Amino acid sequence: MAAILTERRQFILKLVVQEFIETAIPVASETLVRKYKLRVSSATVRNELAALEDLGYLTQLHISAGRIPTDAGYRFFVENLMDRAPLSPAEQRTIRHQFYQVRSELDQWIHLAATVLARTAQNASVVTPPRSYQSRFKHLELIAIHDTTVLLVLVLHDGTVKQQTLTLDTARSQEDLRRYSARINERCADISTSQIEELVMRDQQREHPEFSDLEQQVLEVILRAMRQFEDQINEEIHSDGLIEMLSQPEFIPALIKAEDAERAVERMRCALEILTSGRGLSLLIPQALASEGVQVVIGGEHSEDEMREYSVVLSRYGVNGAVAGVLGIIGPTRMSYPRSISTVRYIASVMSDLLRELYGVEKRSLDQD
């Protein structure tokens, strides 16, 4: 039996993957014939299944169990076999409506995106906030709290707000602070970290520096905050829907009798670890940020070993040349790839449209596929 991937074998592979994604039960030859009304006998299907196993697309947990897809099987399914599964118009409407309701609260967007992703795909979600690839100074505000303590509020070009406290050598009035911030705001309007650096440097070398000691102190804090920001850019991962993921049969011992219940507990702990530590994800974010379209990483394809049982579906979102972030789904390798991909694609497009609106670029169509 030569191991050739015939048309029929591809069809059977597709059925096996779909069936397993749906039921989480290893699929048997008999089941396929019955459920999909195949015109051949179960014995024939068995031969084909054996061939698909030889080809590395299927495997079985033990000799008298049905087949489950390997990572390669899922991969082939995603690339070649999968049917598109666009969100229903009703779902699209609901989602758009939810985003419409919080459109003016910038910091709610990520929360909402994470929640909606998780609920729609029934798995955990990850979202990074929209950031410009290079932070530019937008605005500074100095607010006297008391005596020598000052609250410094820094607004960056992409809308990020950062707050710090600052202790001065001598007390200054709010009026003084206003003057300082006004000058810095004027000098630094819309310039990048490195340009501020240069500005400070040049000024210090003059005989009569333009900036006072206090202003230099403030600029130093700003620079540090901005640099810190650029370093952190990929690490700020917001996540939601752990519960949704843990409601998948993989984590419910009663539904997955084939194994020890302790495995399920261990798996839950591992999932929690992945989502809170961010290891294994932080590697994928920059990659997704640099790519177009939806990225899928399946099980063993991950570089991190603890991700071996999980797949990730990611997409970039944002406005070209202005800001960009990443959002996606993480779940067991047996996740519904069609649905996850559609969900990620749709929500990325909604977020992008919102951002385009905010940044004044013309709106694209929201309707999917």
The site for a second copy (CB under 8 A) is made up of 103-107, 138-139, 141, 143, 145-147, 149, 151, 153, 155, 159, 161, 163-167, 221, 242-243, 246, 251-254, 260-262, 264-265, 268-269, 272-273, 276, 358-360
List CB contacts of 126: < 8 A, sequence separation 6 or more.
114, 237, 238, 239, 275, 281, 314, 326, 327, 328, 329, 330
The CA–CA distances, whole Å, from 198 to 201, 213, 254 equal 5, 17, 63
Using the minimum distance from each CB to a second copy, give the nearer residue, 8 or 111: 111
Residue 31 binds DNA, judged by CB under 7 A? yes
Q: How far apart are CA 162 and CA 170, in angstroms?
A: 24
Rg (CA), the chain: 27
Using the minimum distance from each CB to a second copy, give the nearer residue, 22 or 260: 260
DSSP 27: B
Q: Can you read off the two tokens belonging to residue 125? A: 């979600």
Closest CA to 184 of 131, 239, 138, 122: 138
Residue 265 binds DNA, judged by CB under 7 A? no
Residue 3 binds DNA, judged by CB under 7 A? no
Is 144:173 a contact under the CB 8 Å cutoff?
Answer: yes
Residue 124 pairs in a beta bridge with 330
φ/ψ region of 122 (left if φ > 0, alpha if ψ in -120 to 50, else beta) reads left
Minimum distance, C-beta of residue 268 to a second copy, in the bound complex (Å): 6
Which of helix, strand or coil describes residue 124?
A: strand
* Contact string 234-263 vs DNA (x = CB under 7 A): -----------------------xx-----
Minimum distance, C-beta of residue 55 to DNA, in the bound complex (Å): 13
Q: Can you read off the two tokens belonging to residue 5? A: 């991937």
Which of helix, strand or coil describes residue 176?
A: helix
Is 174:143 a contact under the CB 8 Å cutoff?
Answer: yes
Buried b / exposed e along 292-316 (16+ C-beta atoms within 10 A): eebbbbbbebbeeeebebbbbbbbb
Residue 304 binds DNA, judged by CB under 7 A? no
Minimum distance, C-beta of residue 177 to a second copy, in the bound complex (Å): 11
Q: Which does 72 bind (CB under 5 to 8 A by kind): DNA, a second copy, none?
A: none
List CB contacts of 194: < 8 A, sequence separation 6 or more.
none
Q: How far apart are CA 180 and CA 190, in angstroms?
A: 17
Give the one residue of 66, 69, 299, 318 binding DNA; rule: CB under 7 A. 66
Q: Which does 85 bind (CB under 5 to 8 A by kind): a second copy, DNA, none?
A: none
Minimum distance, C-beta of residue 127 to a second copy, in the bound complex (Å): 16
Minimum distance, C-beta of residue 310 to DNA, in the bound complex (Å): 22
Scanning 65-73, 115-123, 318-326, 335-343 for contacts with DNA by CB under 7 A, the matching segment is 65-73
* Contact string 202-241 vs DNA (x = CB under 7 A): ----------------------------------------
Q: Which does 97 bind (CB under 5 to 8 A by kind): a second copy, DNA, none?
A: none
Q: Can you read off the two tokens belonging to residue 297? A: 């990483």
Minimum distance, C-beta of residue 270 to DNA, in the bound complex (Å): 21
Q: Which does 262 bind (CB under 5 to 8 A by kind): DNA, a second copy, none?
A: a second copy
* Contact string 9-28 vs DNA (x = CB under 7 A): -----------------xxx
Interacting residues with DNA (CB under 7 A)? 26-31, 39-44, 46-47, 49-50, 53, 60, 62-67, 257-258
